Chains A and B, each alone.
Chain A
Amino acid sequence: MIKLKNIHKKFGDLHVLKGIDEEITKGEVVAIIGPSGSGKSTLLRCINYLETPTEGEIYFENEVVEEKASALNAYREQVGMVFQQFNLFPHKTVMENITMAPVLLNKYSQKEAEDVGVELLNRIGLLDKKDEYPNKLSGGQKQRVAIARALAMNPKAMLFDEPTSALDPEMVGEVLDLMKSIAHKTTMVVVTHEMGFAKEVADRVLFMDDGVVVEEGIPSQLFSNPQHPRTIDFLSKVL
């Protein structure tokens, strides 16, 4: 569904991604783990062109993603993203956060979008907050609304950029539970430090270090029997 071909990214002299080739199939859940500065967030942001790759191509459903505004917008409608810092729109209510993009992009009428909003808010257990502004919500609630906002576009794939890293520990669970509930129904790529989540939910885990995918495999194999010395070293520190 999403194919990355020889992705390189440089920030000035800093070579952050050094040739990534990956293919993510429909319905797959891929977790990307690795130390800070390994390039995992940059890779995720390259997938929907929030960062423009310096070199390489991205294919979505077998077609190359063109780097012009109209093509990118159409592509991004189908690939949702959830950020570490939530990035909810603070001047809009919870319901407006969810309905704004689908209505503006003529995906739904206002009425249809609100029906979808009610359904999504019901699913994440926050229907009673629909008229609140984001600043009235806890971190975990904000992230659940951010996930609902992305889901309202009915995307074919979802990208998660360390979705629980900015949360208080007691709120991590509610966000991971929601992510579990949508896993496999939606294709997911998750950059995460939650090894438990990667182990339990992911179909495949990529270990990145220094701009390359050092090792990858199914979680049971990668976590219990890592092959590469850098993977062994990393896992010994985090597990």
Chain B
Amino acid sequence: MSFGFLLKYYKFFLSGTANTLMLSALTVVFGLVGGVVLSIMRTLHFKPAQKLAGAYIAFIRGTPLLVQLYIVYYGLKDIPMFAAGVVAMSINSSAYIAEIIRAGISAVDKGQLEATKSLGMTSAMAYTKVILPQAFKNILPALGNEFVILIKESAIVSVIGLHDLMYNVDTIRGITYKPFEPLLVAAAIYFVLTAVLSKGVESIERRLQVSD
């Protein structure tokens, strides 16, 4: 085993990692926004909105990300590759995040909502001051986990030719005729990214735990 190729091709790893991070960061933002919108749709007293959100979540969770990625890339003609990656990943992630939010809210004891009502608080006050702050604590670990999954799953965008970490590693393997070593480097980079993220989430969780 030798890692001499790193000297010559390290820039491929750097740019690939940068693209993977950019893709993941944008997906986190859009996935979160989408997840929140879906969650709100499901709480509306407007049946079509509820049904639409429910169907969307069921469909996205019931089909492979790879298929969704191809549908977005080939379905939306002329869509830039990077945009296709972000759109497909965000569509996918928003459905999972909506589920995480729903579970987090329903895990808050129903006595909490009753207490706010009994004091004359409006539902808007109840949700912003009492329910969501507590739900956030339930949601955070699962959300952190979803972001870790997202970084790893993002490797799939290499199949449409987006120059993420995985794609660039494949390129290096082809150029150097070293099928194995570049993969180890890729694994190490992915691991560092997810480990740092996990630690960050853990430290936020700890800070939120003062009242437990």
Contacts and interface: CB of A to CB of B under 8 A. Distances in A.
Interface of A: 48, 50, 69, 72-81, 83, 85, 87-92, 100-101, 104-105, 133-135, 149-150, 153, 159
Interface in B74-125: 109, 111-112, 114-123, 125
B114 A50 contact: yes
13 contacts: A50-B118, A72-B117, A85-B109, A87-B109, A87-B111, A87-B114, A90-B212, A91-B133, A91-B134, A91-B211, A104-B125, A133-B211, A135-B211
Contact of A74 (B118, B120, B123): B120
A48 B122 contact: no
B1 interface: no
Contact of A50 (B109, B117, B210): B117
A92 B125 CA distance: 14
Nearest to B118: A81
A79 B120 CA distance: 9
B130 A89 contact: yes
Contacts of A85: 109, 111
A150 B112 contact: no
A149 B112 CA distance: 13
B12 to A, nearest CB: 47
B109 A101 contact: no
A218 to B, nearest CB: 29
A153 to B, nearest CB: 6
A87 to B, nearest CB: 4
A101 B210 contact: no
Q: Which 3 pairs between the two chains have the least Cβ-Cβ distance?
A: A77-B120, A81-B118, A101-B119
Interface of B: 109, 111-112, 114-123, 125, 129-130, 133-134, 137, 210-212
A47 B99 CA distance: 35
Nearest to B125: A104
Contacts of A75: 120
Contact of A89 (B115, B118, B210): B115
B165 to A, nearest CB: 39
Query: Which of A48, A73, A87, A133 has its CB near the most chain B CB atoms (within 10 A)?
Result: A87
B122 A83 contact: no
A69 B119 contact: no
Nearest to B212: A135
Contacts of A69: 122-123
A140 B109 CA distance: 20
A77 B117 CA distance: 9
A198 to B, nearest CB: 22
Nearest to A84: B111
B111 A73 contact: no
Contacts of A88: 115
A87 B120 contact: no
A48 B125 contact: no
B44 to A, nearest CB: 15
B120 A76 contact: yes
Contact of A80 (B114, B118, B210, B212): B118
A165 B73 CA distance: 61
B112 A89 contact: yes
Contacts of A79: 118
Given A90-B211, A135-B211, A83 B120 contact: no
Contacts of B112: 87, 89
